[in-house]
Every structure is written in structure tokens, then in C-alpha cells.
Amino acid sequence: MQIRRLKLTGFKSFVEPTDLRIEPGLTGIVGPNGCGKSNLLEAIRWVMGESSPKSMRGGGMDDVIFAGTATRPARDFAEVSLFAVQPPGAVIPAVELGADGEMEVVRRIERGAGSAYRANGRDVRAKDISLVFADAATGPHSPALVSQGKIAAVIAAKPAERRAMLEEAAGIAGLHVRRKDAEQK
């Protein structure tokens, strides 16, 4: 899956609308401490369906919404859009991809009201989003997104945790979700 573009509004320190193009190849984010580098990586993980506020360094999911500063009031929503080219097979039923396989996934959270997702303009479920990224061998826990401290976590992981990382990388995590679903039916 190729990520082409990331748009943020009201997400953590990115209070004003921010639109970033991501070129093919390796992308590095550089800047002084506290400028928002980790927040950008968290935005990518969040729009892919991250459900743990703790792994977004927050107490609750509303903590991803711009909390205000001495000179700027807090916002009451945050929105992140990710434009990505989906590999063949990684599609959401009833959602049409763009001409070149591009899909725009949008996640929006309103303070006190939880979050909702859209894919190419259609309302979709959180589960559709997590499956489409799992099928594309990526997602919020993909080893392709190396967060601060992640290298040490890989080294210290227990065998079962390391296996889960390998399964994410191999793109079979989605199959486990579907199997669990089938077993419950």
C-alpha cells in the first residue's frame, strides 16, 4: 500500500488544516523536540483505526483533539484523511476505488461523541477500515510504522507478541479477525 497524502485538522498540535504529500520511497520527518513528529505518525495510525488512547499517548480518545493553548481555544473535533493506493484485493465492499486504486479514508472525532469513518465519501464501519488495512498488510500496528521506542519493544517482545508482529507484516491479521467473527456466528 502506498500512502500518498495526509491531511489533518484539529489533530493534537496540528490545529490548522495541514496537507502533506508523501512521495514514493523512504520518508523521514525531522524537526526540533516537541514540533509534532510523533503526532504525525500517530495521525496515520489513528486514521487506520487505532482504538487504544494509551497508544496515542492520551487518557481518552478525545485527547487527540487540539486541547488549546494560552492564546488559542480548544477545538471540538479532529479529522484526519489518508490517501492511499490499495493493493488488489484490499477493498471495502460497496466502496469504489479511484481510477488508479486510490482510496481516501477519513476519521473524524467529535468531543464527547466518539469517532466515525468514511471511505471515498461513504460512511463505513471501524471494522471495514481495520480489515482493509489488514488485507493491505498494514494498519495501526504495522511494523512499517516505526514509532519512538518500537525497536526496543521488538527486542523485548515475548514470542507470542513477536508472532503477532510477523502476522501483521505478512498480511494475515485480517484472516484472524474474520475467523473469530465466523466462530461467533
- Nearest of 110, 31, 22, 98 to residue 64 by alpha carbon: 110
When CB distances are held under 5 to 8 angstroms depending on the partner's kind, the choice from Mg ion, ligand ATP, none that residue 34 binds is ligand ATP
38 binds Mg ion (CB under 5 A): yes
In the shown chain, the binding pattern of residues 106 to 145 toward Mg ion, with x for contact by CB under 5 A and - for none, equals: ----------------------------------------
55 binds Mg ion (CB under 5 A): no
- Tell me how far apart the alpha carbons of residues 92 and 79 are, in angstroms, rounded to a whole number: 20
In the bound state with Mg ion, the residue whose beta carbon lies nearer, of 35 and 113, is 35
Strand order in the sheet with 114-119: 18-21, 2-9, 77-85, 102-110, 114-119, 122-124
* Residue 35 annotated as binding site: yes
In the bound state with Mg ion, the residue whose beta carbon lies nearer, of 36 and 171, is 36
Residues lying near ligand ATP in the complex (CB under 6 A): 12-13, 31, 33-39, 63, 65-67, 148
